[in-house]
Chain A
Amino acid sequence: MIRSELLQALAKDNPELRAEEIEQVVDIFFDEIAKRLADGGRVELRGFGAFSTRERAPREGRNPRTGETVSVPAKRVPYFKPGKEMRKLLND
């Protein structure tokens, strides 16, 4: 499923809404999650899973093309842990 298919599915269930309204709801949903992660917070959607961020230490990397050593600075990366009910949903 891609974003446009999600919009279509929501439109079908909510014929009273305009396409732009559905699009706005979906944008708010994912933007707010992204924003909270960028702010260093976490997002918990019970039954679905939790988004958080993790620190990565700085390291020496290598440019695979030239073999040159480059220093990769410390950074934060997104992390997702599926919820219990999600794990169950996928394996029933």
Chain B
Amino acid sequence: MSNLLLLIPIALGLGFLGLLGFLWALKTDQFEDLEGSANRILDDDDRPLK
């Protein structure tokens, strides 16, 4: 029973972190251009962009 008191909050906390991560990504416009992001990773040019 006592391990449950430890494990359940950990499990919930991890799930909650995942949810926060998703909401953060949503808030910072990371789903605005799915096609662009998919292609950007293939761009070989390492010079920084503005």
Q: Real complex partners, A and B?
A: no
